[in-house]
Amino acid sequence: MSSATPFQTPADKSDKTQSRTLRALLAMREMILAGDLLSGERISELIIAERTGISRTPIRAALQHLEGEGLVEAIPSGGFAVRSFSEKDVFDAIDIRGTLEGLAARLAAESGPSPARLRPLRECLEVLDAVVSTSLGTEKGFERYTEVNASLHALIIDLADSPTLKRQIERAAALPFASPSAFVMAQSMMPEAHRLLMFAQDQHRCVVEAISDREGARAQAIMQEHARVAARTLRLALRSEKALGRVRGGALIRTVR
């Protein structure tokens, strides 16, 4: 007696398609950010399919997502190519993210968060204080700073209680070099790293204080200024091929020598 083939519903098919598209998206994003796919290079669906074992249909869908993220662009001859970014593109992306995070800090302050909601922010500050004072000479120290720094920024955004603003910030930070921690690992190659991160950490403490004291305008101004530390770090990284090599997606930046 033959065994019955399980019935596959439209929802099952949809879930499998989405899963394959996600796999393709993650694989191609990693190839781009790691420099395996070069800026200006036309992306071959066939080669991607051979390298990943994923069929071309989800690869095409993933390319549409990557275009929305700004990592690839449609080309006149058909298909997509990996985008490159001018230095101005990167500085603009950092400025946009800083402006939006400044708004989030202001809304967070004006909402009057309770001590319980502020506690995770203060805990992040304590961890970052310890990392800056004791661990920045090690690779693990910079990795830990990157992780906790991202958490601190995310907590401030959550305190704004604005899903609309949160989505816009996520879009602004989608480019790898626009995120709050984009240049931390580059700083591991710089003699100025400790001074810059101490300054950034002081800004973290000031913005949390402003949010706690419900000083919206002050919180906004500090957070916007804080993004300029990333811009300063970028200027330093652009002078050093070794430092820029530690920036995820740094190979996509067109540098002017």
Q: What is the pLDDT of residues 114-132, one digit of tens each?
A: 999 999 999 999 999 999 8
Q: Is the pLDDT of residue 202 over 90?
A: yes
> Do the Cβ atoms of 60 and 139 come closer than 8 Å?
no
Are 57 and 102 part of one and the same domain? no
> Do the Cβ atoms of 201 and 211 come closer than 8 Å?
no
Q: Tokens at residue 143, please? A: 């990795």
Domain boundary among 53, 83, 113: 83
Tens of pLDDT, residues 135-189: 777 778 888 988 999 999 999 999 999 999 999 998 888 776 777 777 666 666 6
10 falls in which pLDDT band (50, 70, 90)? low
pLDDT at 2: 47
Q: Which residue has the tokens 């919180």?
A: 219
Helices (H), 135-252: 139-159, 163-172, 184-187, 193-212, 216-237, 241-244
pLDDT at 72: 92
Domain that holds residue 19: 10-83
Q: Is the pLDDT of residue 217 over 80?
A: yes
CB atoms within 10 A of CB 185: 20
Q: Is the pLDDT of residue 5 over 60?
A: no
pLDDT at 3: 47
pLDDT at 23: 92
Q: What is the sign of the dihedral through the CA atoms of 114, 226, 252 and 69?
A: positive
Are 107 and 169 part of one and the same domain? yes
Q: Residue 16: which CATH number?
A: 1.10.10.10
Give a yes or no: residue 159 inside a domain: yes
pLDDT at 189: 65
Are 220 and 144 part of one and the same domain? yes
Mean pLDDT confidence for 76-90: 89
Are 230 and 131 part of one and the same domain? yes
> What whole-number distance in Å separates Cα of residue 179 and Cα of residue 40?
23
Total domains present in the chain: 2
Q: Is the pLDDT of residue 4 over 60?
A: no
